[in-house]
Every structure is written in C-alpha cells, then in structure tokens.
Amino acid sequence: MAPHTEQLTRPAVRLRGLTRSFDGRTVLDGIDLDIPAGQFVALLGHSGSGKSTLLRAVAGLDHEVVGSGQLTAPERVSVVFQDSRLLPWRRVLDNVLLGTDGQERGREALAEVGLAGRERAWPSELSGGEQQRAALARSLVREPELLLADEPFGALDALTRIKMHALLRELWKRHQPSVLLVTHDVDEAIVLADRVLVLESGRIGLDLTIERDRPREEYRVRLLAALGVSVGSG
C-alpha cells in the first residue's frame, strides 16, 4: 500500500511563491497552490487578472516571461484553448493523433467525444462545438495526468456549452486527470469543479471547496462577491 499512499498524497501541481511579470508589472505575485492528483479545479478572475498567465506557467509555455518561484507539474500535460487550434490542412483523426501513434486510440478518443465517423472530415467541416470536441479528443489520446483548459467553451453558444460541460465531467470521471480550468463563468465553475479559486491582485483571493449536495446559490453569491459583484437576496 505504501507506494499508493505516496501517490495519493503527493500533489499533481505544486506552486510556491510563483511570480510572473511583464515590463516590470507584476501579474502573479507569489502564488502558493497545491492541486491533488485527480482534482477538478476552476480558476476565476477578472479579465487581465492573470489566469492565462498562470495556466501558461503551469503548462511550461512561458519561458520568455520574467518570473520566479517553484513549480512542479506532471510530465503528461495537455492544454485546450478557447479556439480548437486544429490544423486546417489535416483531417480530424490526423489532428487528434498529431505527434503520437496509435490510430485505434485516436478513433476511440473521437468516439468518446461523440465524433465517431468524422475521422476523415476536415476541421472546417466541423461546427465550433465539434471542433472543441476534437480538441478534447486530441488532449485525451495523450492520457494526460493534468488537463489545462483556458476558457475552452468561451466561444460556444449556451446550449452547446451545457453539453460540453456534461462531456468534460464524464471524461474527467473516466480518465481522472487533474484539471485546471480557466473560466469567466461562475456557474460553469460551480457546475464542473470540486474546487474554485479566484485570482485577485496576483494571488489566490478565494479558495472554495464545492460540495455537490449543497445549494449552488450559496457558492454563487460568495464567488460573485469575491469578484466584486453584489447580488441582492430578494
């Protein structure tokens, strides 16, 4: 049992005093954060508060940015952005497989996101929601220990977004990666995550554990308040 205990207790992501600045302006100001393996975390914050900066740091995509602090993240990390970033000159299956082999695994991943039969389509032949599903399939074939998502549903209509929420939650349950999801949307955060963080003045201003059996409205009011939006109780 000992090795398992070690795995369970060691966080997947560990940040200590993480700092990032642009042109002398501090955007992340000493962030401390542990994300346990398998936890689904949503990150809220005003536009420009540094959410994408934090995500890019965790993804290891910010070597050009000035910063300091300690950062530990798993080896297998997948990133999903607001636009699918599919390569237009490659068919859907080839996009999903990009840089990996295993046609079968690619087909399975497409089936998992409801795109079975669309393997040979071009990205331009898919709807926005389908393109995001293909992007999710592409992240899945890499069996990530950590899935980073920066407003992945931000460009989708409300109905498609609700379907994508259900899909993401289902994929997370099945594959159990740790997730760090950046979103503007308080309701999306509460529906999806087990824990919601609010980034404020370069720090984690609020760290809220979401319990599924408690009323969502309670969390909603607290999170909106943390974001500076007051909600009348009438």
Smallest gap from Cβ 6 to ligand ATP, in A, equals 33
Angle at 182 between CA 169 and CA 118, to 5 degrees: 50
Smallest gap from Cβ 117 to ligand ATP, in A, equals 34
DSSP-assigned letter for residue 63: T
Give me the residues that bind Mg ion (CB under 5 A), please: 52
Smallest gap from Cβ 159 to ligand ATP, in A, equals 23
**Does residue 132 touch ligand ATP according to CB under 6 A?**
no
Q: Interaction with ligand ATP in 18-47: which residues (CB under 6 A)? A: 22, 27, 45, 47
Contact between 165 and 188 (Cβ < 8 Å):
yes
Amino acid letter, 114: G
Instruction: Name the binder of 50 from Mg ion, ligand ATP, none, CB < 5-8 A by kind.
Output: ligand ATP
Backbone region of residue 64 per phi and psi (left: phi > 0; alpha: psi in -120 to 50; beta: other values): alpha
Q: Which is nearer to Mg ion, 52 or 95 (CB)?
A: 52
Q: Which is nearer to ligand ATP, 191 or 227 (CB)?
A: 227
- Single residue of 13, 39, 44, 52 touching ligand ATP by CB under 6 A: 52
Q: Which is nearer to Mg ion, 115 or 156 (CB)?
A: 156
Q: Which two tokens stand for residue 113?
A: 């996101």
Smallest gap from Cβ 10 to Mg ion, in A, equals 29
- Single residue of 31, 50, 110, 140 touching ligand ATP by CB under 6 A: 50
E strands of the chain, at which residues?
Answer: 11-22, 25-36, 40-45, 66-72, 77-80, 146-150, 178-182, 195-200, 203-209
